Chains A and B, each alone.
Chain A
Amino acid sequence: MELFNRDSTINFLGHRKLAAIFSGILILASILLLFVNGLNFGVDFTGGTIVELRYENAANLEEIRGILNNSEFDGAVVQNYGSANEVLIRLAPIEELNSSQISSQVTRVLSQSGQSIELRRIEFVGAQVGEELTESGSLAMLFALFGILIYVAIRFQTRFSLGAIVALVHDIILTLGFFALIQMDFDLSVLAAILAVIGYSLNDTIVVFDRIRENFRKMRNSTPFEVCNTSINQTMSRTIITGLTTLLVLFALFFLGGETIHGFAMALIVGVIVGTYSSIFVASPVTLALGISRQDLMPVEKEGEELPDRP
């Protein structure tokens, strides 16, 4: 059984202008969305309180909003969470109240409605913790990109490394843009997922690069363009299958893993799709556009490692 015909020679790179325009539009749209809509940051980043409650019967959101608006918690965001019985309440940081008491007070206020409520989860994050997290999260992303840049530059060549980084930045922006579009909660786990996307997308890109490096040494009479195109075609089957198995488990996680990891699974699903696209249509074209040539890979060849089958 085969999903992708191995002998095919689809001219992926021939469409690189089209792909560049497509990616460009998506990136612009994402950036626009990030500016206009912004990310719906969760309390992990903004500070504030989340209270998750389960009511005995279907919860009356209007009533809950009413009760909260008449208390010191006006302006609370109340929404269903997972099922009709479950409610998620989000409160902005409240200055006057002793921060640690907010959560217990909310439950107290709501329990006056007479319905039996089960407290399922409380998350309170102080404002300064959120700030630190935003900072360390951005730093972590930069560190990851930098570490990868160096590794790829050493193992391959600087042009490859730049191609990989452009593809990764592309993936990050599009995934963030998607979250700005659907306004899903952007919390700590989504950030973790995006870092995992960096890992995954890179994995994909490296596989193609590895083939390009190998083919440069094999296909002595081909142009860099042909070498890249052939390499993408040869690794296509693997790219699709690995993407598919990863998506299989991610969908299992999305549909069965529960509400808490919805955002996480969503970010990875988007990231895996975008990452697969970028390793074909972004990473290699950029590397090619930067002027990769056979000579660039010569120093590596001179070291003479792991090339027993050199023609």
Chain B
Amino acid sequence: MNRYPLWKYILISIVTVLSVLYALPNLYGKDPAVQISSSRGQVTELTLFEVEAALDDEGIEFDAIEYGLNTMILRFSDEEIQLRARDAIRAALNNSYSVALNLAPATPDWLAMLGAEPMFLGLDLRGGVNFLLEVDMDAAITKAEERYVSDLRTLLRDEGIRYRTINRDDDGGVLIRFRDAESRSQAIPIIETNYLELTVSEINEGSGDFAAMVLISDGAISETRINALQQNIVTLRKRVNELGVAEPVIQQQGQERIVVQLPGVQDTARAKEILGATATLEFRMVDMENDVQSAIDGRVPPSSRLYYSRDGIPLLIKRQLMLTGDYIIGAASGIDALSGGPNVSITLDGRGERMFRQATADEVGKNMAIIFIENKTETVEENGELVRKSEIVEEVISNATILEQLGKRFQITGLDSPQEARNLALLLRAGALAAPVEIIEERTVGPSLGQENINQGFLSVMIGFLLVLVFMLVYYKVFGIAANIALTLNLVLIISLLSLLQATLTLPGIAGIVLTVGMAVDANVLIYERIREELKNGNSPHASIHAGYEKAFSTIFDANITTLIASLVLFSFGTGPIKGFAVTLSLGIVCSMFTAIVVTRAIINLIYGGRRIQALAI
């Protein structure tokens, strides 16, 4: 008796082999690397040529090179070379590339082909910054209402309806006061047909006062909120790209919050300054009468200024401002219905429409440029004193010919690629009026602490694990060996599952693994104590093994399910670090059910099964 069918052994072998395979990449670690990505499409042969030349000049050698989607990764043998290489590459490439330090998994090809990759390390283990930002939604809605104030003003004026005042009400909504009841009853249907998202109701405060309250529908308000959040995420993405961080995380959390994780970033002050920069857009005409070359040589006409595009192409642009980004409501990339090429369509608000219509009326056939302006503040040290400096970075992001008088909606066509259209739309949105954000949480871990956390975490797992192994061996002898093999497999299984899920390992996650190691033997202790009890009651060894596993099962099941309930609650409520703990704990519980019951039984059956035995070494 006590024999297991062959298929169970096969199953256990398959699980063992797979878990070892998928846990393996973690042993190889990661190589220091530099990641080069282009914000304007492909990384080409030409890029590689430039990079190689730059590295050659500095006498830097790289170990390997890989291509991804719009990215190129160069591996280096150590961190010092990696830093030098980054600086050299940065200097050589123009700023349409972002060059970032990275860690590339050193997984061998045959493993990578199976999709096996190492776990991600959390910021507390590799160092970096974690920000939680909150979008000021009240401000976003206030701004939307202010926009309606100007839109309604334009609308009523165009329709020839006389009103006294239009103002944003402090309690929300827009209050319009009319001169008489007649113009009010004229206005209401006009407003409602022009702006479907608005509802207008009459307010009678007293005699001779004809007011109407305009409220934005709930749907439009929630759309405003979503837009405010999206807009900020877009802006943050662009800023983060500029920081040159590899594998940044920018994610929505809840209705009005954004998580920004920047692995490896140490200078939080600079990171905050860059994230907090404000951007605007300016629309100006290109000066086509004067010569660009002579402007480069220093003879800039007084009515114009010399600008550079993102690719470094010089452009002479008139000083007169036509429009700013504040009037842009939306910008989206798409396909032009006429030409079939990529385009970006821009929507302006009422005031912007009027200004733009006037400004572009006489400019058809000429070129208009869109300039992206960022106001950054940087803290620099000057003569031993720390000075906050504000710096303005301006670049031309679009230069297009005006084909007709432009109004509320217009489009920019003739773009090279859908990618470029998308980028331009992103930049336009980023430069449009966005709701302000505030940092409400910040967690920074230095690189040395990160490394220490890894070392200490690893050490405590190993020591705790060894202590348990020794204890089980001494206390349960042969059965202890079975439990130890199961425990080891359990550990490998957890790591392989975490790698397979591409979960992020954090310090609390390691704590979860340690705790699992301690608790995973519980199932075996329950079974073995039951076996001892059966033996003591005078049952035969085989019957005792059988009864021990049988009777302990429902106990193990109940006990583990309740622990699982607690850790699921942890998971659902948890923020980052607690989630990591809950994930490893839950995985550990589930894995231990398999290893402690099925795997130990298989080993015990292999040792004692199918033969006569006098006594058990337990």
Chain A residues within 8 Å of B, Cβ to Cβ:
1-3, 6-7, 52, 54, 99-101, 103-104, 108, 118-126, 128-129, 133, 136-137, 139-140, 143-144, 147-148, 151-152, 155, 188-189, 191-192, 195-196, 198-200, 202-203, 206-207, 210-211, 214, 234-235, 237-238, 241-242, 244-250, 252-253, 255-258, 260-261, 264-265, 268, 306, 308-309
Contact = CB atoms under 8 A, between A and B. Distances in A.
B566 A189 contact: no
B514 interface: yes
Given A200-B563, A210-B554, A246-B519, A237 B529 contact: yes
B438 A99 contact: yes
A54 B566 CA distance: 37
Nearest to A187: B577
B536 A6 contact: yes
Contact of A196 (B124, B452, B567): B567
A104 B573 contact: no
Nearest to A122: B444
Contacts of A309: 547, 551
A203 B439 contact: no
Contact of B518 (A126, A137, A245): A245
Contacts of B519: 200, 203, 242, 246
Contacts of A308: 550
Contact of B558 (A6, A155, A192, A247): A155
Contacts of A120: 445-446, 448-449
Contact of A100 (B439, B510, B518, B562): B439
Contacts of B567: 195-196, 199
A260 B465 contact: no
Contacts of A191: 578
B459 A195 contact: no
B460 to A, nearest CB: 4
Given A137-B573, A206-B555, A257-B457, A126 B444 contact: no
A22 to B, nearest CB: 26
Contacts of A268: 515
A6 B565 contact: no
Contacts of B299: none
A191 B582 CA distance: 12
B514 to A, nearest CB: 5
Nearest to A210: B555
A285 to B, nearest CB: 20
11 contacts: A100-B276, A189-B581, A202-B563, A206-B559, A246-B519, A249-B515, A256-B456, A256-B459, A260-B124, A260-B453, A261-B507
B561 interface: yes
Interface string B235-260: 00000000000000000000000000
A149 to B, nearest CB: 10
Contacts of A1: 474-475
Interface in B440-499: 440-446, 448-449, 452-453, 456-457, 459-460, 463-465, 467-468, 471-472, 474-475
A208 B459 CA distance: 34
B521 A245 contact: yes
A128 B547 CA distance: 56
Most buried by B among A101, A237, A249, A252: A249
B468 A249 contact: yes
Contacts of A306: 553-554
A258 B453 CA distance: 7
Contacts of B582: 192
A242 B525 CA distance: 7
B573 A264 contact: no
Contacts of B453: 258, 260
Closest 8 CB pairs of A and B: A249-B464, A126-B440, A199-B566, A252-B464, A100-B439, A140-B573, A246-B518, A249-B518
Contacts of A100: 272, 276, 438-439, 442
Given A248-B464, A256-B460, A258-B453, A121 B444 contact: yes
Contacts of A244: 471
A129 B443 CA distance: 13
B471 A245 contact: yes
Interface in B528-553: 529, 532-533, 536, 547, 550-551, 553
Given A120-B445, A121-B445, A123-B443, A207 B452 contact: no
Contact of B467 (A2, A3, A248): A248
Nearest to A211: B555
Contact of A104 (B269, B448, B511, B536): B269
A265 B443 CA distance: 21
A252 B514 contact: yes
A125 B441 CA distance: 4
B132 A129 contact: yes
Given A234-B533, A245-B471, A306-B554, 11 more contacts: A122-B444, A124-B441, A125-B440, A192-B578, A199-B565, A238-B526, A248-B467, A253-B514, A257-B510, A258-B453, A264-B511
